[in-house]
Amino acid sequence: MARRERVVRMSVEQPLWRALTAYRVLTMVYADLLFAFKSGDFERPWVGVGFLAVLSVWTLATLPKVSGAARCTKRFLVADLTIALTGILLTPLADAQAQLQDGPTLPTIWTAGAVLAYAIKGGWRWAAAASSLVAAANIVERGEPSRDTLHNVLLVWVASIAIGYVVEVARASERTLARALEIEAATRERERLARDIHDSVLQVLAMVQRRGTALGGEAAELGRMAGEQEVALRSLVAGGLSRPSHVSEDESQGAVVRMVDEPEEDGQHDLRTLLTPHAGSRVTFAEPGAPVLLPRPAAAELAAAVGAALDNVRRHAGPDARAWILVEDWPDEVVVTVRDDGPGIPEGRLAQAESEGRLGVAQSIRGRLRDLGGTADLVSVPGQGTEVELKVPRGKAER
């Protein structure tokens, strides 16, 4: 089934950046209001007014910088943390009693936002370095470490490191998931190509080999070469026809790559029109009186699986074998049954064929139905023919 793929980028970090943006604005407002209510207690209120003016302008002007990892540069992080440390160290200059009363610093809890930016951007190691600088500045501002100071410092240190560690784990998980999805998409593409090759090239090579051997002479040599190419091509298909492309760390970090299979064409198609050409003197086709509508790609895949089943009848059941195709249209699924009156399949023959690289049933039939969300059940009794039942749920086929 023809498909095209699109890549949808999602990141678990984005909610953290949005939360950090809101946190910085709210804590800026909190610091301004707290100073406004207590400005009369400051010995040099103009120091606090000047710093908070700079803090407010900086916070509002740099909101785009904390909207995502790409915009949050190292230069911005250094400048942001410098403003926070400066505010802490200016607190005794604005109010000398702040050291004795163990009151809040000028930037108050806004400082935690600067540390959290380090955590989200660079992980727990960056968070540990930034929080350690904040701890040192608080101790210098107080003159000597008090119980409340140590409590606040420890809280910021633990919280920032924990968030940084969670971000690193999320990034590693996203890279793993992106790689797994890419491998899955490549595997599906390989199976689809293997089915197409089996339905065309491999069968032609097998026919040339049989006819050449039967004719003898130079044709026998041609048949031998066709047989060698068939074996080589089967090995290539089974061993790795396509390999996943490389996903760079920049592309996968902070993003999940989701492969979405989409049909090239929309709309419904009548399955009967695709199966009618198979009817002939030795193939009986039984169909409902009403159209059997399926999405166009699903109908094409189901018809191809029926064609593969009939090819097996022609190749293995003998020239005199007859086949019957029965289409059943149910509200929740479409069922197509292909039955023949050939000699049947000996027990263990399918497993042996797959081990030899002959993937006709596994890929051309079961692989197609698996991609449609359906099933392919094969029942064969030696001497009583073979029956293949193909079921396609309507809901999954539409997706």
For residue 384, the model assigns a pLDDT of 80
User: How crowded is residue 96: how many other Cβ atoms within 10 Å of its Cβ?
Assistant: 12
Q: Is the pLDDT of residue 2 over 70?
A: no
For residue 149, the model assigns a pLDDT of 66
Worst-scoring range by mean pLDDT, 33-37, 219-223, 235-239, 250-254? 250-254
pLDDT digits (tens, 9 = 90+) for 225-274: 777 676 666 655 555 444 444 344 343 333 333 333 433 445 788 999 89
Cα separation, 183 vs 82, in Å, equals 45
User: In sequence order, what are the residues at sequence separation of 6 or more whose Cβ sits closer than 8 angstroms to the Cβ of residue 277?
Assistant: none
User: In sequence order, what are the residues at sequence separation of 6 or more whose Cβ sits closer than 8 angstroms to the Cβ of residue 358?
Assistant: 234
DSSP H or E run through 4? strand 3-10
For residue 97, the model assigns a pLDDT of 67
For residues 340 and 176, the model is more confident at: 340
Residue 148 pLDDT grade (very low, low, confident, very high; cuts 50, 70, 90): low
DSSP of 155-170: HHHHHHHHHHHHHHHH
Residue 212 pLDDT grade (very low, low, confident, very high; cuts 50, 70, 90): confident
CA 121 to chain CA mean position, Å: 23
Model pTM greater than 0.75? no
User: How crowded is residue 263: how many other Cβ atoms within 10 Å of its Cβ?
Assistant: 16
Cα separation, 343 vs 320, in Å, equals 11
**If you average pLDDT over residues 59-72, what whole number do you get?**
89
Q: Is the pLDDT of residue 398 over 70?
A: no
CA 158 to chain CA mean position, Å: 32
Q: Is the pLDDT of residue 95 over 90?
A: no
3-state secondary structure 179-193: HHHHHHHHHHHHHHH
Tokens linked to 326: 């029965």
Tokens linked to 248: 């760079």
CA distances to 119, 244, 255 from 10, rounded to whole Å, are 20, 21, 5
For residues 280 and 190, the model is more confident at: 280
Tokens linked to 117: 């930016």
For residue 38, the model assigns a pLDDT of 83
Report whether 296 contacts 304 (CB < 8 A).
no
Helices (H), the chain: 13-38, 45-61, 74-94, 98-101, 110-122, 124-142, 147-197, 203-215, 218-240, 249-252, 271-275, 296-316, 349-355, 368-371, 394-398
3-state secondary structure of 261: strand
- Phi, psi at residue 184, to the nearest 5°? -65, -45
DSSP of 311-355: HHHHHHS-TT--EEEEEEE-SSEEEEEEEE-S----TTHHHHHHH
Q: Is the pLDDT of residue 356 over 60?
A: no
For residue 321, the model assigns a pLDDT of 86
Residue 195 pLDDT grade (very low, low, confident, very high; cuts 50, 70, 90): low
For residues 396 and 156, the model is more confident at: 156
Amino acid at 118: Y
For residue 257, the model assigns a pLDDT of 36
Cα separation, 75 vs 117, in Å, equals 12
Residue 165 pLDDT grade (very low, low, confident, very high; cuts 50, 70, 90): confident
